[in-house]
Amino acid sequence: MGKPYVIGIDIGGQSTKMGVVDARGNIIIQTSFDARDIITLKGYMDELEKSITHIINVPAVGGKEKIKGIGIGAPNGNYYKGTIESAPNLKWTKDKQGNPEVVYLKKMVEKIFGFPVVVTNDANAAAQGEMIYGAAKGMRNFIEITLGTGVGSGIVIDGKIVYGHDGFAGELGHTTSVRRTGRQCNCGKIGCLETYASAIGVARTARELLEMEPERTSLLRNLPADDITSKDVAQAAAKGDELSIEVFNYTGRLLGEAFADFVAFSAPEAIVLFGGLAQAGDLIFKPTVQAMEDNLLSIWKGKVKVLHSELPGSEAAILGSAALAWEL
Amino acid sequence: MGKPYVIGIDIGGQSTKMGVVDARGNIIIQTSFDARDIITLKGYMDELEKSITHIINVPAVGGKEKIKGIGIGAPNGNYYKGTIESAPNLKWTKDKQGNPEVVYLKKMVEKIFGFPVVVTNDANAAAQGEMIYGAAKGMRNFIEITLGTGVGSGIVIDGKIVYGHDGFAGELGHTTSVRRTGRQCNCGKIGCLETYASAIGVARTARELLEMEPERTSLLRNLPADDITSKDVAQAAAKGDELSIEVFNYTGRLLGEAFADFVAFSAPEAIVLFGGLAQAGDLIFKPTVQAMEDNLLSIWKGKVKVLHSELPGSEAAILGSAALAWEL
């Protein structure tokens, strides 16, 4: 009999979460630790080892020999190299001068526990989780789009995550939505999809609209402009606030136009939306689907589904990372 | 011992070309027939059978038992279904009323000869040819871009052509270069890459520039505006004609901007340019590479090659189709 469990680890800017997961997506046990104040790699690895050791050895799991492997989703995780490279929000990946260092995470964790380990970025982990446990179950061709602080993506072709030549494929948040006159992106480029279709992008669109049309009433005017979040915009839109609805229509239009180009690339069965902004439901889905349909070649019109992620919110990242380990 | 030969067939709007090819890309024998006046499917299949039978049975080939299979590249060829669907330029794919019919080409040819047959579109065939015989030999991740009357593409990921959910993946000529204010494309959309970076697009850019700047001198003014072809523009540019050079700079800029987005999708090792426009050499390569580099994420800057196809011109289509058959 095969080993019944895998471990999924989600490395975020604030905390590291992990769980032992079975083949059906049940989390047997989970734990997490706060990593904000950890500044050395050794400090981080000690905490990681302690937590993993703990969850492996609870009676419900039954020890090392029950574990098939470990999947890790991390910012800038590279599948081929098993590394984390230049992750700006993880202090422990930097040297004493604050310069980013390459962290050979796969090698280090394999050395400690002896399991096979796979590392990739968070969006790829989400895509793998969606395919095994979520809305893309049984699909062999789909694209996962994560709409969070930024816009990430995991592309699945023929049942496999696309890693590309170098392990960095699937940066669809940095395809260009608005050329030349677009917004400045943190990546240095102009007009990236991420500057519009992320939580930050939505808040910015709202602020811009409020400023451009000072006479227009909006529930959002009750908030200090600099404090407006995408959640505020969604709540106002849900109450019928027209300016806020317009913000979502604009965001959806750019997102749907981008989706039409993604479809021309890999002809997926579905595009699955994951993350905070996807919670806005019809507010974002309707204009997105409309714009996508308007921009698809006729062979694809009406044929590509846009779906909501079915990974359970708080555990999605653990499930995604765990799903990677089943492929080992 | 395996069978030493495959047959490659290239179905074009004017003629159907075919050849018997060995594993090194040597064409043992080739033939073609003019299909412009063939209006029935039966008429076409009779000609096809005659030509295939001829090349199989020449002494240098030695008959049926030497053939592993047949690869066919055709407009709107669908890999999964083995069909040609709604190919506007092939009269024999339409019924008496001129309505397009689905042609089950794979099934029909398999029935006649008993070999396995694979059908795909011409750009995918070119990509497969490039991987086995051409500039992408040994590469597992690259994108072939065909710059002809239109702009086609074949995407290779992990050593395999991407067909997507429905067999139609890789329509990069119909991703959007200029939103809303762009040129009308034959596909019904606005601003498709194909309307700028194809031979027709280049000629159109030249005509627009000549019209917009009536005072500006150019060698192209010696030709009737409606007769200007991309070849004329390339020849004038090669002679130093500034307006023509500007046409290529503009074309290359849009092409390179699109390439940066393609790289964000599949992180290829190289993008290979095939077809008439690629013959313009530095005129088109330089501005394309420049614009691509300007728009790449920093992780990819200086790392993605833009290469000229190494498939021999007149036989490229036969080699591409033949290459498909080795995968059978």
Would you say the CATH fold of A137-309 matches that of A5-129+315-326?
A: yes
Q: How many CB pairs under 8 A join A and B?
A: 112
Instruction: Give percent of chain A with pLDDT exceeding 90.
Output: 89
Average of per-residue pLDDT across B1-29: 92
At B18-55, the pLDDT tens digits run 999 999 999 999 999 999 999 999 999 999 999 999 99
> What's the pTM value of the predicted model, to 2 decimals?
0.94
What CATH number is given for B138-309 in this structure? Answer: 3.30.420.40
User: Residue B260 and residue A176: Cβ atoms within 8 Å?
Assistant: yes
Is A158 at the interface with chain B, CB within 8 A? yes
B301 and chain A: CB distance < 8 Å anywhere? no
Mean pLDDT, chain B, integer: 95
Q: Do B170 and A268 touch (CB under 8 A)?
A: no
* Residue B255, pLDDT above cutoff 90: yes
Percent of chain B at pLDDT exceeding 90: 89
State whether CATH 3.30.420.40 applies to domain A137-309.
Answer: yes
- Per-residue pLDDT, averaged over B108-123, amounts to 95
CB contact under 8 A, A261 and B176: yes
Residue in chain B closest to A305 (alpha carbons) equals: B165
Per-residue model confidence (pLDDT) at position A13: 82
Q: Is B166 on the interface with A (CB under 8 A)?
A: yes
Residues of B in contact with A269 (CB under 8 A): 165
Mean pLDDT value of segment A55-76: 95
Tell me which residue in A168, A257, A268 faces B299 most closely, judged by beta carbons. A168
Evaluate if residue A206 carries a pLDDT over 80.
Answer: yes
- With bands split at pLDDT 50, 70 and 90, how would you rate the model's confidence at B2? confident
Give the pLDDT score at A88. 75
Q: Provide the pLDDT for residue B1.
A: 59
ipTM comes to: 0.93
pLDDT computed for residue A1 by the predictor: 59
Chain A residues with CB under 8 Å of B171 CB are 264, 297
Q: Residues 6 or more apart from B222 whose CB is under 8 A from it?
A: none
Mean pLDDT value across residues A242-265: 98
| pLDDT of B314 over the 90 cut | no
Flag whether pLDDT at B271 surpasses 70: yes
Domain ranges of chain B: 5-129+315-326, 138-309
Q: Does domain A5-129+315-326 have CATH number 3.30.420.40?
A: yes
pLDDT band at residue A96 using 50, 70 and 90 as cut-offs: confident
SS (H, E, C) B126-168: HHHHHHHHCCCCCCCCEEEEEECCCEEEEEEECCEECCCCCCC
CA dist B192 and A264 (Å) reads 11
